[in-house]
Chains A and B, each alone.
Chain A
Amino acid sequence: MEQKRVVITAAGAATPLGLTMEQTWEQLCEGASGIDKIKAFEPSGFPCQLAGEVPDFKVRKYVPKKYRKATKLMCRDIELAVVATDDAIRTAGLVTKAIDGDNINIDPRRTGINIGAGLISCDLEEIAPAVSRSLTDGKFDIKKWGKEGIQYLTPLWLLKYLPNMLACHIGIIHDIQGVSNTITCGEMSGLLSVIEAAETILRDFCDISVAGAAEAKVNPIVMSRQCILERTTKDYNDTPDKACRPFDKNATGSVFGEAGAILILEDFENARKRDAAPLAEIAGVGQSASINKEYQHLEPDGKAIAIAVKKALADASIEPDKLDLIIPHGTGIPADDMAETRGLNTSLGESAERIPVFPSKSMLSTTGAASGAIDLAIAAKAILEGKIPAARNCDEKAEGCNLNINRELKETKINYALCCGYTYGGQTAAIVLKNING
């Protein structure tokens, strides 16, 4: 049997820079920032008042009429995944049950779904009234809660917040019945989901996979968690577009946000048969784990990044000097950016100083699980268009950073692009994309 190849035939997204990948890409190329004052709640009492929030949308518009009622069971994370998937499926030219039930052009059983998610927090405004019914002398009383308070929650409350519900809703909306998984590895959920989706195609479990991730981090509890873990900047509340500064000397932490990014992965032969033009090929993948006493940070020498990148290059059968673009994790958290820089130097050698680096979070914020999937979508667009957007806010490189941060929109042929990253907890991943017309 011929060696199978996995290609990306479309990228869909809902990001702080737009409700489609096309809009997001245009905005990135124009140098826009998606970071602003938080609108989801009144942030003045919080140390960091900034976030990358997705422009307003109504999820009802993205689902078939019959399914509108079920949108009540969608938390924001699910909504973002639904919107991004709609974009991806339409862009790919796939006709699913939701697009046009009479002209379906996928085999539901041979279509897989692998959508990563974060730790979803419940909507506090929804649960607060129930809590307020469960007080004794102003204090929360678990006995009252068990007896009365919980009755004020909708019966299906839990189902809104299970991480696998992103994939489940999308599976129902588009009638996708094949292999299905939900990877929950923090900020690596996106890259790992795409890797696993590609594996399911290689091992012939499916011909097409809807893969990526979504997460909505703009929830007071989630934002506060990042704050007390000291991953958030508190210093740029008056200048939102300057706040997220990966690899910059004046970086003091990241800004968090929300997004969904979904790729359509396809067996190359399947894409060829239906005349779909791939954006790029998944040429190689690598994974590892950081081992660090402080679980919230990447180990200082970035060894786990180095292992993952080396494995991805070996899997793609290329040397580091073949890379024309790197999209790193680059959060703006100084210790992590430094560790990642070291990992890239270890794995890429001299090429680390030459290859253009585009830290997308400088414009999109750190969107949790979604971040790796967005980076892949950006890398695929960059390859297709032969363009690398300019990163924001890296005005003067941090001491010890020798990476070639791309600061001006660059038009250039990209043969190979690398996306890599890590998450709190330590999992790392790297993916090499190849220009199919290379």
Chain B
Amino acid sequence: MIHPKSKHRVVITGMGIICPLAHDIENFWNALMEGKSGIDKTTIFDASTFPSTFSAEVKDFDHLKYTSQPEQHNGCNRGTGFSIAATAQACKQAGIDIETENPTDNIDRERLGIYLGAGEGSTDNDMFFTSLAESWDNEKREINWDKWANTALPMMDAMRELEQEPNMPVSHIAAMTGARGIVRSCLTACAASTQATGEASMLVRNGDADVVITGGAHSMIHQLGLTGFNRLTALSTKNDSPQTASRPFSASRDGFILGEGSAILIIESLESAKKRGAKILAEISGYGSSSDAFRVTDMHEEGRGAVQAINAALVDAGITYKDIDYINAHGTSTAENDSIETLAIKKAFKERARQIPVSSIKSMMGHLIGATGAAELISCVLALRENTIPPTMNLDDPDPELDLDYVPNKPRKVQLNTVLNESFGFGGQNNVVIVKRFRE
């Protein structure tokens, strides 16, 4: 394998987002500045009897508005639909031609890659539950497989089944953009799209691709998704006050809020961006990944894996903990994450820990699971642009144990040059990406 000695600088030239707060970048930023909430009663299905009856949904959205080839995309799952729209936005900003046989954007399609952290689509619930209801033999305590097959097979739709596969978002984006380079999709739970962005930046840095469409897409607001997270007691059950239920770092935090969406970034080598005359939004300078190797149910008690990922990203960026101006936290609003993340920040940032502003936009946006890290990374790029830190909303009852500067309840103007984005997945996969203001 050829591994070049000269490394490329990696810059961001386009961004797009579909999330509970907004369907475009500028409105996303405005919502963060206004402290809006994207959280409300669940409407996608009847969740009224679940322990958590609310979620952060993307509303009034039709992905087919973003494509001129509806026949190629009409059967996709929710997450894929979000990714199609976010990709269209990001490509437009970066000047990448989509849905054309003859692109004139000066990008070699064999060097245009895609790397998403993307999740599976929802099960076909009607088929799934009906066939189990029909085939369960309560006396024998087993499924009658003949009955199951007779019920399930006629109900199954081939495309509906295929579109559940977690690689389908990247497949649709390849069809849309004509990308023929490296195409990968990963699913490291809540860290997936931070991981994807980090790995994509490595492909550009090492010259394996000139341009990569990266980010994430996911929706787990479906019957089995809500079931799974509710059984884990990971979700907030503040059913009477959905808008203020996401309370990262507060004393009354009681779980995260299941969200959905897609966030896409166009990253490319500095040479490619200059050659194409693309406007540079920021630079990705560091990436770190680690594994807790502790328990599948809990984060390492001392934040060992998180600290290792932060340190790896700092080393990769060639900087130290003294150079970080702002930390965009994973900050899920669960008791465990927010405590251990605070501990990890203290360990990694030592005497500076209390001086560095830390905030969690999940307080407004909810938790987009696989897509969350990329949405948060976009907020970091916008924070750099505006020299403003988005707040941690609903932080009106601080947890006395958590004593960092969490930028409570209103945005803060401050000069920013280098910011760090953290994502930690269930099962202990940790990913950190560092972005900085671009300077020649």
List residues of chain A with CB under 8 Å of any chain B CB: 1, 3-6, 41-47, 70, 73, 108-109, 113, 117, 119, 122, 124-125, 127-129, 131-132, 134-135, 138-140, 142-147, 150, 153-159, 161-165, 167-169, 171-172, 174-186, 188, 192, 196, 198-199, 202-203, 205, 220-221, 224-225, 227-230, 282-285, 287-293, 295-296, 303-304, 307, 311, 315-317, 423-427
Name the CB-closest residue of A to B152.
A224
Determine whether the beta carbon of A171 is less than 8 Å from that of B293.
yes
Determine whether the beta carbon of B427 is less than 8 Å from that of A177.
no
A157 CA to B228 CA in the complex, in Å?
6
Determine whether the beta carbon of B180 is less than 8 Å from that of A288.
yes
A179 CA to B428 CA in the complex, in Å?
11
Determine which of A45, A129, A146, A188 lies in contact with B150 in the assembled complex, contact meaning CB atoms within 8 Å. A45
Contact A119/B165 with A113-B291, A425-B170 known, Cβ cut-off 8 Å: yes
Determine whether the beta carbon of B188 is less than 8 Å from that of A203.
no
Which residues on A sit within 8 Å (CB–CB) of B168?
Answer: 295, 425
Besides the known contacts A145-B49, A168-B292, A229-B161, 19 further A-B residue pairs in the complex with CB atoms under 8 A apart: A5-B1, A6-B1, A45-B147, A108-B293, A125-B142, A131-B129, A138-B133, A140-B132, A142-B49, A145-B129, A155-B231, A158-B232, A172-B296, A177-B305, A180-B429, A283-B1, A296-B158, A426-B175, A427-B185
Determine whether the beta carbon of A181 is less than 8 Å from that of B143.
no
Determine which of A5, A124, A161, A225 lies in contact with B161 in the assembled complex, contact meaning CB atoms within 8 Å. A225
Number of B interface residues, CB 8 Å?
A: 95
B:389-440 near A, CB below 8 Å? 425-429
CB distance from A47 to the nearest CB of B (A): 8
Contact A156/B231 with A46-B149, A168-B427 known, Cβ cut-off 8 Å: yes
Determine whether the beta carbon of A185 is less than 8 Å from that of B184.
yes
Q: What are 17 inter-chain pairs, A to B, with CB distance below 8 A? A: A44-B145, A45-B149, A129-B136, A146-B46, A162-B427, A165-B296, A176-B293, A182-B188, A184-B166, A199-B1, A224-B149, A225-B161, A229-B162, A289-B114, A291-B180, A295-B171, A427-B171
Name the CB-closest residue of A to B174.
A289
CB distance from B165 to the nearest CB of A (A): 5
Determine whether the beta carbon of A156 is less than 8 Å from that of B232.
yes
A132 CA to B290 CA in the complex, in Å?
41
Which residues on B sit within 8 Å (CB–CB) of A203?
Answer: 3, 202, 206
Most A Cβ at <10 Å: residue of B48, B152, B226: B152
B:191-239 near A, CB below 8 Å? 195, 199, 202, 206, 208, 223-224, 226-233
Which residues on B sit within 8 Å (CB–CB) of A109?
Answer: 290, 308
CB distance from B304 to the nearest CB of A (A): 8
Chain B 307-342 interface mask (CB, 8 Å, partner A; 1/0) = 010001000000000000000000000000000000
Name the CB-closest residue of A to B52.
A146
Determine whether the beta carbon of A289 is less than 8 Å from that of B145.
no
CB distance from A146 to the nearest CB of B (A): 4
A157 CA to B142 CA in the complex, in Å?
19
Determine whether the beta carbon of A184 is less than 8 Å from that of B185.
yes
Which residues on B sit within 8 Å (CB–CB) of A164?
Answer: 187-189, 425-427, 429
Determine whether the beta carbon of A153 is less than 8 Å from that of B231.
yes
A304 CA to B157 CA in the complex, in Å?
27
Name the CB-closest residue of A to B135.
A128
CB distance from B281 to the nearest CB of A (A): 25
Determine which of B135, B157, B174, B233 lies in contact with A426 in the assembled complex, contact meaning CB atoms within 8 Å. B174
Task: Summarize A's interface: helix, strand, loop or mixed.
Answer: mixed
Q: Does B62 contact A (CB under 8 A)?
A: no
Which residues on A sit within 8 Å (CB–CB) of B308?
Answer: 109, 177
A437 CA to B290 CA in the complex, in Å?
34
A180 CA to B426 CA in the complex, in Å?
13
Contact A228/B158 with A157-B231, A183-B186 known, Cβ cut-off 8 Å: yes
Determine whether the beta carbon of B145 is less than 8 Å from that of A142.
no
Which residues on A sit within 8 Å (CB–CB) of B156?
Answer: 224-225, 228
A144 CA to B46 CA in the complex, in Å?
11
Determine which of B48, B120, B290 lies in contact with A119 in the assembled complex, contact meaning CB atoms within 8 Å. B120
Which residues on B sit within 8 Å (CB–CB) of A138?
Answer: 133
Q: Does B5 contact A (CB under 8 A)?
A: yes
A379 CA to B19 CA in the complex, in Å?
45
Chain B 58-72 interface mask (CB, 8 Å, partner A; 1/0) = 000000000000011
Name the CB-closest residue of A to B206.
A203
Determine whether the beta carbon of A146 is less than 8 Å from that of B49.
yes
Determine whether the beta carbon of B290 is less than 8 Å from that of A285.
no
A47 CA to B132 CA in the complex, in Å?
19
A165 CA to B297 CA in the complex, in Å?
10
Determine whether the beta carbon of B231 is less than 8 Å from that of A181.
no
Most A Cβ at <10 Å: residue of B3, B45, B50, B158: B3
A229 CA to B180 CA in the complex, in Å?
25
CB distance from A329 to the nearest CB of B (A): 15
Which residues on B sit within 8 Å (CB–CB) of A175?
Answer: 293
A218 CA to B122 CA in the complex, in Å?
20
Which residues on B sit within 8 Å (CB–CB) of A315?
Answer: 1-2
What 8 A-B pairs have minimum CB-CB distances, sorted nearest first? A158-B228, A168-B427, A146-B49, A45-B149, A425-B171, A180-B291, A140-B129, A146-B50
Contact A184/B187 with A228-B153, A425-B168 known, Cβ cut-off 8 Å: yes
Q: Does B148 contact A (CB under 8 A)?
A: yes
A293 CA to B232 CA in the complex, in Å?
39
Determine which of B136, B150, B178, B289 lies in contact with A181 in the assembled complex, contact meaning CB atoms within 8 Å. B289
Determine which of B49, B178, B291 lies in contact with A177 in the assembled complex, contact meaning CB atoms within 8 Å. B291
Q: Does B301 contact A (CB under 8 A)?
A: no
CB distance from A70 to the nearest CB of B (A): 7
A424 CA to B5 CA in the complex, in Å?
35
Q: Does B179 contact A (CB under 8 A)?
A: yes
Q: Does B107 contact A (CB under 8 A)?
A: no
Name the CB-closest residue of A to B50.
A146
A296 CA to B171 CA in the complex, in Å?
10
CB distance from B371 to the nearest CB of A (A): 14
CB distance from A42 to the nearest CB of B (A): 4
Name the CB-closest residue of A to B127.
A221
A424 CA to B165 CA in the complex, in Å?
9
Q: Does B100 contact A (CB under 8 A)?
A: no
Determine whether the beta carbon of A42 is less than 8 Å from that of B145.
yes
A424 CA to B118 CA in the complex, in Å?
16
Name the CB-closest residue of B to A206.
B289
Q: Does B138 contact A (CB under 8 A)?
A: yes
Determine which of B3, B72, B130, B289 lies in contact with A180 in the assembled complex, contact meaning CB atoms within 8 Å. B289
Q: Does B280 contact A (CB under 8 A)?
A: no
CB distance from A218 to the nearest CB of B (A): 12
Which residues on B sit within 8 Å (CB–CB) of A154?
Answer: 231
Which residues on A sit within 8 Å (CB–CB) of B129?
Answer: 131, 134, 140, 145
A34 CA to B322 CA in the complex, in Å?
58
Name the CB-closest residue of B to A127.
B132
Contact A70/B45 with A154-B231, A427-B167 known, Cβ cut-off 8 Å: no
Determine whether the beta carbon of A128 is less than 8 Å from that of B3.
no
